[in-house]
Amino acid sequence: MSGVNVKSEIKPLKKVLLHRPGKELLNLTPNTLEELLFDDIPFLKVAQEEHDAFAQALRDNGVEVFYLEDLMAEVLEGNPELREKFLKQWIEEAGIRTERYQKIIFDYMQQNYPDAKDFVLKTMEGINLAELHTDKSNSLVDLVSESSKMVVKPMPNLYFTRDPFAMIGNGVSINRMYSETRNRETIYGEYIFAHHPLLKGTPQYYSRYSAFHIEGGDILNINEHVLAIGISQRTEPDAIDEIAHNIFNDPTSPIDTILAFNIPNSRAFMHLDTVFTQIDVDKFTIHPGIMGPLTVFEITPEGSGIKVREMNDTLESILEKYVGRPVELIPCGGGDRIAAEREQWNDGSNTLCIAPGKIVVYERNDVTNKVLRDKGLDLIIVPSAELSRGRGGPRCMSMPIERED
């Protein structure tokens, strides 16, 4: 079966897209952490073991796992004429402006990575100057640059597949991301959604070439008719206006309401899914800092445009109205301030629901996990000592492709 179907955060998960952390993590250094949006350097070997355990836990629960690197490699294998076009675009988006280096990198990639999967992984890993074996006497830049300089920077955030593209009903948003570092990641989505047999033909509600930022962590499918989007550090209101127009103008989309949550602009509230995630028909995990009054904008279609109405209420009241039943909000850390701060830092409220009441959580958040277990939830606990260093939880690391209706 091809196409996508994601009209909920909790209905049984059937297909999911992941990226196994690769050598891109080896190209993180203390000096580049801030630029590459990391707070620490994960140990790759252990991060891969943890990620493999995460993928296996999904398979053990009936979820078919697809890998971003495999889908992109299959696109290039099935459409060999695209390889040169993709490579030239990748070089340009990496910021390589001089004709000399464009040719050097193009030739290097073509000659050294004939295998499509190796080629794709290398585009994710990045290239340092020492790999290129250039004649330094021909370039002042080469002579004054350290041999370890990254000519093409890595994409270490790729294992958070939630953000570059987000499934919305039967369509997709291919996002323009907040940072230049992450915006390059969406190039794979451009090719996969245009050419891969599993995903081509999917309606596209947002383009990576749009002017405004939006990221998948800010997009939550409340139900078939209601979509929630965070106005956050990473998602601009202009982007929400644009995506609302595109969704409402698609006659096949049943979505008739978009809720724009105005959340604090900070690292702690990076995306809407760090503020709350749905884990059962009537339960949500939440960041304790979001318990006060909220400003939420209800966006509905009006003619060929949109109508926006401001609401000021508690998260609980707003969710109850649009979920259609009383809801229970379960704070990260169970209300203990220190535990909440510590476990929120390690994504204690960023859970992946694979069926109502059945959720994937990080092992290290033991206080929050006990609270969830005491509430009757079925926990699938995965190791997380290294994965959590990227500041993203199980929801961040997964992009559902299909859920049961």
Task: Please give the positions annotated as active site.
Answer: 396
What tokens were used for 310?
């401001």
What angle (nearest 5°) sits at the alpha carbon of residue 214, between those of residues 1 and 281? Answer: 60
- DSSP reduced 3-state for 159: helix
Q: Which residues are paired to 380 by β-bridges? A: 360
**Cα dihedral sign, 132-136-140-145:** positive
Using only C-alpha atoms, the chain has a radius of gyration, in whole angstroms, of 21
Nearest to 80 by CA among 106, 112, 119, 107: 119
Phi, psi of 394 (to 5 degrees): -55, -35
All residues at 6 or more sequence positions from 217 whose CB lies less than 8 Å from its CB, including other chains: 160, 162, 163, 230, 234, 270, 271, 272, 273, 274, 392, 395, 396
Buried/exposed code over 79-103 (b: 16+ C-beta within 10 A; e: otherwise): eeebbeebbeebbeebebeeeebee
364 with 346: CB under 8 angstroms? yes
Report the alpha-carbon distance of residue 187 to residue 86 in Å, rounded: 9
